[in-house]
Homo-oligomer: A and B are copies of this chain.
Amino acid sequence: MTQPYTSHSLVRVRYAETDAQGVVYYANFLVWVEVGRVDYLRAAGLSYRDIEKHGWGIMIVEASCRYHAPARFDDELQIDTWCDEIKRSSFRLRYTVTRTEDELLLAEGHTTQVFLNLKEQRPAALPDELRAILERTAAPS
């Protein structure tokens, strides 16, 4: 087995993402981990566009986040994404969100997503290619 693969994504905090407490509104971390998820899958050879071309969808069935420190407007953040669990039609991704300036961990979390046959609106087995890549690169949980 090769080393667990982790993708790295950068975002800069937008004013739109802040709230009246002067820091980022908590739901926006889920938007950023989506950026991480898309980049992870792209690096694994599977673009969201390809997914949709095949009539598949990715449905989040669980999301969780722990917040350690607030993000602020104009912060540059790094999202690290890796896989730590693979099942028949779903897999779990883990994320950390770190402020690049001082490498402070702001938040960490995970999402579990199911592969979906969009026409039938039913779970579908992970495509073999994706499964192979996930299995080769996932971290033991």
Which residues of A line the B interface, CB within 8 A?
Answer: 14-16, 18-23, 25-28, 30-31, 34-35, 38, 47-49, 52, 57, 59-67, 70, 72-74, 118
Contacts and interface: CB of A to CB of B under 8 A. Distances in A.
28 contacts: A14-B35, A15-B20, A15-B34, A15-B38, A16-B19, A16-B27, A16-B31, A16-B34, A18-B19, A19-B20, A20-B20, A20-B52, A20-B72, A21-B57, A21-B118, A26-B30, A26-B63, A27-B27, A27-B30, A27-B34, A49-B74, A59-B67, A59-B70, A60-B67, A61-B67, A62-B66, A63-B67, A64-B64
A74 B118 CA distance: 20
- Residue from A20, A28, A31, A64 having most chain B Cβ neighbours under 10 A: A20
Contact of A31 (B14, B57, B59): B14
Tell me the dominant secondary structure on chain A's binding face.
Answer: mixed
Contact of A26 (B18, B60, B74): B60
Contacts of A48: 15, 73-74
Contact of A19 (B15, B27, B67, B70): B15
A108 to B, nearest CB: 11
A14 to B, nearest CB: 6
